[in-house]
A and B are shown apart, each in its own frame.
Chain A
Amino acid sequence: MKLNLVEKITPEIWEIRPFGKMNVPARIYASEDLISKMDLKVYEQLCNLTMLPGIVDMAYAMPDAHWGYGFPIGGVAAFDPEKGGIISAGGVGFDISCGVRLLHTKMKVAELAPHKETLANLLYKRIPSGTGSRGKIILSDQDMNDMLMGGARWAVDKGYGSAADLDFIEEHGQMAGANPETISKRAKERQKEEMGTLGSGNHYLEIQDVNEIFHPEAAKVMGLELHDVVISIHCGSRGLGHQIGTDYLRSMMTASKQYGIYLPDRELACAPIQSDLGKSYLGAMRGAINCALANRQIITHLVREVFNEVIPNLKLRLVYDVSHNTCKNEWHMVNGKKVNLFVHRKGATRAYGPGHEDLPENFKSVGQPVFIGGSMGVGSFVLVGTNECESLAFSSACHGAGRAMSRTEAKKFWNGPQIIKELREQGIVIRSGSYRGVAEEAPLAYKDLKSVVDAAENAKLALKVAQLSPHICVKG
């Protein structure tokens, strides 16, 4: 992206003043290096987003923003239902409520070494991953509807994990307002055998350790100490979310015309929040959020089973669970007034600052944990929300590194065995069902995670708490 397209406000804040049909300005949070490497499509998609009805304040792009469909990935936009605001299936994406959860063990990384191969093999065996993976749970029609309504709470009731986990999941593990009747038979059919599965692509399960702490107070509240072994789980709502995205993108495409909504890009297909279609999508999308929460809860249970088998009596505590493809109904301060908004975060994480009423008690002093996943070999970062972020981006932060290279290009440069060998030399054990999949997910096919996280911190979207280094990666 050429820098003359945007106005530099600070070294990490770049604005686009409204022109043409833009209703509000747009803003990109990034360093000069990151923004200059962003595709021009991010600029175009962000500008298009501001043309949608009922948009409030500004459209935002996070430091990891890249070319999406309709919305840029890393895009945040809030809409006011009282002002004709819309909801967009493309603004949430196909992998609804894809997210990351972090589990903490009281084991130190030095104690991991003797168990590394056994853990890698068992985790790979027990947690279905990759293309076409199926779980052991087959949902009946009634189970499906209960899961869609109950989320992680449903999973806990079925024996997957403990009730204590629920306090450390957004929405306390159960998204209110789900409506299984608004979800197609096709979507339910796609999910029937996919509970407790990782999926493919950039999804993963990693055993990591805390190798650096930047914010001792927040790390202490999260119970993270240097060299502690932790587990990151990155996955979403699987086939159900994908089909809901497909179904509603299609129906919103037709409906946008009926509602007279101007679409600068048809991928921005949407419906007024207060319309029947808007309400129907909300009910379906909330069901998909519950599906993702239940999915990560079941995987957590499977991980605990594996650890218990290998290292008996080791407790795996859930630190927190965040989603990064959602539209949520939240209250935000706009021009000094508290307003009820529908905030789309597509490839962006909610990042409430300290004191927010929706946070678990123990996080109220430091803010919401935010988990930023990287590629194999790089690990992840733990961040925490700031109070400044409320006015900066409706309390939102980035979600990952973002690809620097397409899958097609990546597999020309690398091959699976070579990547696995190189990572093993660095002490990272990879388990994957596909060499080609590993090549497409090569570490260098992604942007530099540290520069994304630094930009988020410098912009005050979130503060760095800890860096997590990988030791075992089960690749989706």
Chain B
Amino acid sequence: MTTLKWEHFSHEADVGIRGFGSTMEEAFAMAIIALTAIVANPDTVEPKIKIQITCHDEDVELLFYDWINSVIYEMDTKNMLFSIAKVHIDNSYLEGEIWGEIIVPEKHDPAVAVKGATMTELKVSTTGKQWITQCVVDV
């Protein structure tokens, strides 16, 4: 059985993204694949270019909000999609790497651009065995 790594959840006008992981870092990283999947199939995105991102907040949920918005900024200004994310969090400081490529419309069939992460349904939680990160993003 394949372990679920990310999913979308329904929001009337927009889209919810959810990442799962055995660590909080992994759940942060998987949410980026859910983010990409709003725009295109992540399997079509080759990890050709690496971008580094840093964020800081003592509130893990706001740290997640900043992380998602930082990636959205890179998507928008560099016209890119990302298929791999790696995250390291140390004492409220996040260092992340995202890997992806510039959008090729014929290859990626990009459906919609993401405007920003919202605080709706914003949660970073754990069941003890699994970490879950989520929020609704405005499209």
Contacts and interface: CB of A to CB of B under 8 A. Distances in A.
Interface of A: 39, 41, 66-70, 73, 90, 93-95, 130-132, 134, 186, 189-190, 199-201, 239, 242-243, 245-246, 249-250, 253, 266-267, 269, 402-403, 406-409, 411, 433-437, 439-440
Contacts of A67: 11-13
B110 A250 contact: no
B67 interface: no
Interface core residue of B72, B110, B115, B117 (most chain A CB under 10 Å) = B115
Contacts of A239: 76-77
B119 A190 contact: no
B58 to A, nearest CB: 11
A73 B13 contact: yes
Contact of B73 (A41, A186, A439, A440): A186
A170 to B, nearest CB: 22
B73 A131 contact: no
Interface in B22-48: 38-40
Given A253-B119, A408-B8, A246 B112 contact: no
Contacts of B13: 66-68, 73, 402-403, 406
Contact of B112 (A249, A269, A407): A407
A433 B72 CA distance: 21
A277 to B, nearest CB: 17
Please give me the 9 A-B residue pairs with the lowest Cβ-Cβ distance, nearest first: A131-B110, A436-B111, A242-B115, A132-B79, A69-B118, A69-B120, A246-B116, A437-B111, A67-B12
Sort chain B's interface into a size bin. Answer: 35 or more
Interface core residue of A199, A201, A403 (most chain B CB under 10 Å) = A201
B60 interface: no
Contacts of A437: 110-112
Contacts of B79: 132, 134
A66 B12 contact: yes
Contacts of A407: 14-15, 38, 111-112, 139
Contacts of A411: 111
B115 A94 contact: yes
B84 interface: no
Interface core residue of A66, A69, A90 (most chain B CB under 10 Å) = A69
Contact of A132 (B62, B110, B138, B139): B110
Contacts of A243: 73, 116
Contact of A95 (B72, B76, B115, B117): B115
B10 A440 contact: no
Nearest to A187: B73
B112 A245 contact: no
B88 to A, nearest CB: 22
Contacts of B76: 132, 190, 239, 242
A331 to B, nearest CB: 31
Contacts of A68: 13
B66 A250 contact: yes
A317 B57 CA distance: 51
Contact of A435 (B69, B73, B109): B109
B3 to A, nearest CB: 21
Nearest to B9: A408
Nearest to B15: A407
Contacts of B69: 246, 250
